[in-house]
Amino acid sequence: MNRKLSILCFSIWASSPLTGLAQVNLDKPISVGPSDQVFASAVDAKAAYYMPISLDRQSDVTITKAKDRMVARFSVGVNPQLFQSMQKTLAARSPDLQLRVLKPMNPTIELGTDIPVDFTALLTPVNPIDLMGPSEFSLDVDRQYHWIGKDGGEKLFDMIFSDLRRDHVGTVKYEFEAIAKGVPSIAQTYVPVFGGKHLLKNTASLELEITNTQPSAATEPKIQLDRDAHCWDQVMNPGEYCVREK
């Protein structure tokens, strides 16, 4: 199901040292860990920006029922273990750099591929989206009432919010200011939202894995110019960017 909801982008947010509106230099990727989705700031020599490749559930799920519908409310964001470990690794290699996460411009929501069409589901943010999290979402689905046993909606929620799975419940498509191929631009990318909590290995093992990753040249990001690829309205994978010159 490809239902989209345009979100009003608020121009003022509470300030945070870890998040903010900024200009990212896509021409300067920084090798930090296996994801290689960290870029230098285009305006602040002491900042680097992590571009999330997933948003995972950070809270318990609250479910309410009406006659024909069911609603689940939950919060998502960047996995804190992963972010803290990348932050420590970056600090060890480049002590002057602080790792941050962007506040998205003009975000829109697409329903995830693991929610069947017959539930006529609607995924909406409860407040302005902060990729770092916690960002609260509401998932509204058909209850599909059963006389015996659990309703269809209950079974769906049991499945997609299981900590043993990583079901795709939605995707956040957003924009940000960037330098790309040397030109001031507006860039667009996607990040998937998962219903399960991403339970990483213990923090010490994760930090060791990231630290042992050799600081070689970062992976070149996949950047497409909209004027050539006409990619602005196309679905992209996490870590891919469509760019329009200002």
Which comes out higher in pLDDT, residue 68 or 17? 68
Q: What is the dihedral of CA 48, 102, 31, 76, to 10 degrees?
A: 140
Q: What is the pTM of this model?
A: 0.81
What total number of domains does the chain contain? 1
Q: Is the pLDDT of residue 208 over 60?
A: no
Q: What is the pLDDT of residues 106-161, one digit of tens each?
A: 999 999 999 999 999 999 999 999 999 999 999 999 998 777 768 889 999 999 99
Positive or negative torsion for Cα 13, 17, 22, 24: negative
The yes-or-no verdict on residue 34 having pLDDT over 90 is no
Place 199 in a pLDDT band, splitting at 50, 70 and 90. low
How far is residue 32's CA from residue 137's CA, in Å, rounded to a whole number? Answer: 30
Q: What is the pLDDT averaged over residues 168-178?
A: 95
Q: Which domain holds residue 83?
A: 4-8+16-245
pLDDT of 150: 84
pLDDT in tens, 54-104: 999 999 999 999 889 999 999 999 988 888 888 888 888 888 899 999 999
Is it the case that residue 48 has pLDDT exceeding 80?
Answer: yes
Q: What values do phi and psi take at 163, rounded to 5?
A: -70, -10
The DSSP line for 192-203 is EEESS---PSPH
pLDDT surpasses 90 at 212: no
CA 171 to each of CA 8, 57, 79, 224: distance values in angstroms, whole numbers, following the listed order: 16, 13, 16, 20
pLDDT value for 217: 52
Residue 46's pLDDT is what?
92
Q: How confident is the model at residue 185 (pLDDT cuts 50, 70, 90)?
A: very high
Percent share of the chain, pLDDT over 90: 57
Average pLDDT taken over every residue of the chain: 83
CB atoms within 10 A of CB 106: 14
pLDDT at 75: 96
| Phi, psi angles (nearest 5°) of residue 172 | -100, 120
Q: Give the angle 218-223-227 at the CA atoms, nearest 5°.
A: 160
